[in-house]
Chain A
Amino acid sequence: MPGLISDASAVPAGRVNDFVIKFANVNGTGSASANSLIMKAIFRMGVPVTGKNYFPSNIQGLPTWYEIRVTRDAYAARASHVDIMVAMNAETYSKDVRELKSGGYLIYDSTWPRSSLLQRGDINVIAVPLAKLVNENFDGVRNRILLKNIAYAGVLAALLNVDLEVISGLLRESYGKKPKLLDSNTKALRLGYDYVKQHLESPLSLRVEHMDKTRGHIMIDGNTAAGLGCVFAGATVGAWYPITPSTSLMDAFKGFCERYRVDAATGERNFAVLQAEDELAAVGMVIGASWNGARAFTPTSGPGVSLMNEFLGLAYYAEVPCVIFDVQRVGPSTGMPTRTQQGDIMLCAYASHGDTRHVLLFPANPEECFYMAAQAFDLAERLQTPVFVLSDLDIGMNDWMCPDLKWDDAYKPDRGKVLSKEELDGLDKFYRYVDRDDDAIPYRTLPGSSSKGAYFTRGSGHNQYGGYTEDSAEYQFVLDRLKRKFSTAAKIVPKPVFIGKGGCSVGIVSVGSCDGAIREALDVLSHQKIEVDYLRVKSFPFTVEVEAFLKSHTTIFVVEQNRDAQLKSLIILETAVEKSKLFSILSYSGLPMSAQPIVDEIRAKLGEEPRLTAVKS
């Protein structure tokens, strides 16, 4: 075999539709399109995939990685190993070689041979002179850089048995209107593909075969789904300050609005996107627009929420709806802007000075980002308060396999208690903060409707009639009602998802993007005869179901992606749970969570405590 310059000592057994490919690239070289081309082709062959992008906070030149997990069992989490490394960045060769699993495959550009790669005897090195192939066939520096990516996609297609016709179809969809680009891309694809077919043995034992497990599914990232959700929810005002990893949410909203909200005849646009001077202004605009009766939102990340704190207190106290998508990244401070974390739970739950509590929603995947957008607006307007959707970089920026998004045309937005002019005419007098329905939610009016409904919105002390006050009793009366309003919220926020057989003494509680890793861990544990119940919390305030789960389990692992166990802290503060029952499983590396650490930690804990015999076998 001329291409295989190292025979592996441990050749892996054939693994169909179950392996991990990692691409090591240089940022800004156009590798993303080749990587997603491969991923999408596998997806179209009916095989479940996930894609995780590990990119630097940089425009061009720094190392970047993309990881495709081919997963016949449709696991959503990152795998903690690499089977095939496409090593396209000389700068990171040694790190990339080290990361490869024993028996794995290393594909590299042998235009410049690397003897150092041979240092590991337990991997298969696949050498393809990619640059040489591309340089012989194409002109132009930039063109060659871009097409080299497509060439390695061709190499992978041959090695992994990816359907060439499916890839060609994808290229036709991308470049159908640009025949020159279509030609060059197709040619580059064939260069790589044919080289393998002529010089190497293919396909590998790790390979792809057609399945039928992606029908009715899409590949989408959470920010796109959330932006689309805002369009469907009827949001008309979006205000924002660009910040990674939330930027693509507003890009998506704007893009979909340009598609669905522009009058073809007049060019009139039924939406407004305001790029603010900072996050303080962004949330101020959202508060102003929501106060004035529009559905308005802002996408941001942790540093943005830090800046928004003062305004969030105003919105809470003056009872103005607003929706904030916090696509969490690694903090504190600037942290690692392009890495994922769930580090804003406490920040958002109690944002601002004074006594405040905010409604949080925790989507676990892009599908929920879409549906939770409408839920967030409904809740914000029903409760007249800020609502956070706490996504994260992993959900927001990575492509996830999700069931098709669907919409029910019977949906009517819940605009909450807003009095119309006619309703105001029928009233003797309007008072802004009186609890007329005994649910702690007052009635509001919109500017422009009627002078009878006019009131003065203020963040300063006010009584239930909306008047300024420094009177202790009057102040406390309003503050106590706000606390009761949070109890009302607990009755209407999304309920948690329970997974398990029930009746186990051991449970897992978690939120958001830990879900994929936990579900996979549950399967692994189940194979090892360890059964664990799992409750995925979807909202704060915690609902009665959360309280019941905490009560009915004797050992509870709280899984989350931050150092300080913020979810666990919130549970201890806000429920009646006995603190000693809770054990943290934490991940705060900046990488999406994988299943193995969860399995290991649960096994270790249960092993060290033999009294936990209530675990079903």
Chain B
Amino acid sequence: MSFINKPKVAHPSLPTNDLGLTRRQYEGTMSTLCAGCGHDSVTAAVIEACWGLSLRPEQLVKLSGIGCSSKTTSYFVSGSHGFNSVHGRMPSIASGANAANRSLTYVGVSGDGDSLSIGVGQLTHAIRRNVNMLYLIENNGVYGLTKGQFSASADIGTKAKRGEVNASPPIDPVLLALTLGATFVARSFSGDKAQLVPLIQAGMRHNGFALIDVLSPCVTFNDHEGSTKSYTFTREHYQPVVEADFVPHAAEIAVDYAAGESIPVSLHDGSRVVLRKLDPTYDPGDRTAAYNYIEKKLKQNEYVTGLIHIDESDNTEFHNLNQTPKVPLNSIPFEKLNPGAAALEKLMGRYR
């Protein structure tokens, strides 16, 4: 069998969302990743997030590069178009696709090799271009498909399965995104679905480039003692600083938040994200402060998680700057795009 189809038989009692769809209808093909792979948990979180948002499957566009993480776009929402492109180049496909049709929701899934080594140029420029998309990095510090080489996110001193110790400094995608002026930067852990799902929802609704670095351990090549990207190490060293609750457009805020600890932020489409600060000194609106905080904690081997930085006042999203009409470029009738024979005839005078 060349590919595996999951039967789409839904039990009648399964809960449905506003569109009347069950979670099963947001699933994709069967995962071919290793049992226990962190990426499969991220896939589950994406499915939960899309179902919870009542997103029409055809409104979603899934994009990826090459690698274990990039395979996962096949494993969720089979009712949406997917594009598994070439290694490290997904951001350019996403930029072009988004330019052609701004009305869809774009989710890119990438890994630390795909994003921080071969694709670091494209990632940084997509952030700079402020393409309206959610960009998930499933970060495990290691190349899986080629059997366990260090990636650019491997920490100094972390040990490979074969015993080699990494000496090169890591590229941290969160610090990178903050440096480049990203307006939505988050970090989470594949094992913390409660934290991850609302982050994904908020990232999808954010108007601009949203980056979520998801620590997602590789059970086969990087889950041993001495690795700083193992399940055990991650569980012991991750530190939520700002939790985010996603509140859809129509819903009321049901929970009372203590004043001073929660910050409601309105997103572009009218939905809200309510931030709960677990460290009262932390300000997710202050990019420089966020950078310093994360860097300090990284030096202490602590992964700060949660919605690290958000700026909804920013209006540098690509189409805003380009002044593209609300109607997607791919839907403008040809007659409106073509100046016509008379205009051309008139123009010819310029060249005589």
Contact = CB atoms under 8 A, between A and B. Distances in A.
B335 to A, nearest CB: 9
A263 B338 contact: no
Contacts of A288: 83, 92-100
A129 interface: no
Contacts of B330: 236, 289, 292-294, 446
Interface in A485-529: none
Contacts of A453: 58
Given A274-B96, A291-B97, 13 more contacts: A231-B337, A231-B338, A239-B95, A239-B96, A268-B324, A277-B121, A280-B92, A288-B95, A294-B99, A406-B341, A406-B345, A412-B334, A454-B81
A451 B325 contact: no
Contacts of B344: 228, 232, 405-407
Nearest to A263: B325
A446 B101 CA distance: 10
Contact of A448 (B59, B74, B332): B59
A213 to B, nearest CB: 13
Contact of B83 (A228, A256, A457): A457
A218 B348 contact: yes
Interface of B: 2-3, 56-59, 61, 73-74, 78-86, 89, 91-101, 103-104, 121-122, 124-125, 129, 318-319, 322-325, 328-332, 334, 336-341, 343-345, 347-348, 351-352
Contacts of B329: 236-237, 270-272, 294
A288 B318 CA distance: 15
Contacts of B98: 288
A453 B344 CA distance: 38
B332 A236 contact: yes
B101 A409 contact: no
Nearest to B79: A451
29 contacts: A231-B338, A233-B338, A234-B338, A236-B329, A237-B329, A239-B96, A270-B337, A277-B125, A280-B92, A282-B92, A284-B95, A284-B122, A285-B96, A288-B95, A288-B98, A289-B96, A291-B96, A292-B101, A293-B100, A311-B85, A404-B345, A447-B97, A454-B78, A456-B74, A456-B81, A457-B82, A457-B85, A463-B2, A468-B3
Interface residues of A, number: 80
B164 to A, nearest CB: 29
B57 A447 contact: no
Interface string A409-448: 1011100000000000000000000000000000001111
Contacts of B85: 284, 287, 311, 314, 457, 459
Contact of B96 (A232, A237, A409): A237
A251 to B, nearest CB: 15
A229 B336 CA distance: 15
Contacts of B83: 288, 291, 456-458
A413 B322 CA distance: 25
Contacts of A231: 337-339
Nearest to B61: A447
A447 B81 contact: yes
A310 B86 contact: yes
Contacts of B99: 237, 239, 272, 274, 285, 288-289, 294, 296
For the residues of B in contact with A, the DSSP-based class is helix
B89 A284 contact: yes
A44 B324 contact: no
A314 B80 contact: no
A267 B321 CA distance: 12
A557 B345 CA distance: 39
Nearest to A288: B96
Contacts of A454: 57-58, 78-82
Nearest to A311: B86
Interface in A290-311: 290-294, 296, 310-311
Interface stretch (A21-29, A48-56, A336-344, A469-477): A469-477
B58 A447 contact: yes
Contacts of A470: 2
A340 B319 CA distance: 37
Contacts of B332: 236, 270
Contacts of A291: 83, 93, 96-97
A75 B111 CA distance: 58
Contacts of B352: 43-44, 217-219
A293 B92 contact: no
A233 B94 CA distance: 23
Nearest to A408: B341
Nearest to A239: B96
Contacts of A463: 2
B331 to A, nearest CB: 8
Contacts of B121: 277-278, 281
Contacts of A269: 322-325
Return the 7 tightest CB-CB contacts between A and B, nearest first.
Answer: A284-B92, A288-B96, A451-B79, A285-B96, A294-B100, A218-B351, A293-B330
The winner among A217, A228, A281, A459 for most chain B CB atoms within 10 A is A281
A467 interface: yes
Contacts of B57: 451, 454
Contacts of A411: 338
A237 B2 contact: no
A474 B86 contact: no
The winner among A269, A271, A278, A451 for most chain B CB atoms within 10 A is A451
A459 B322 contact: no
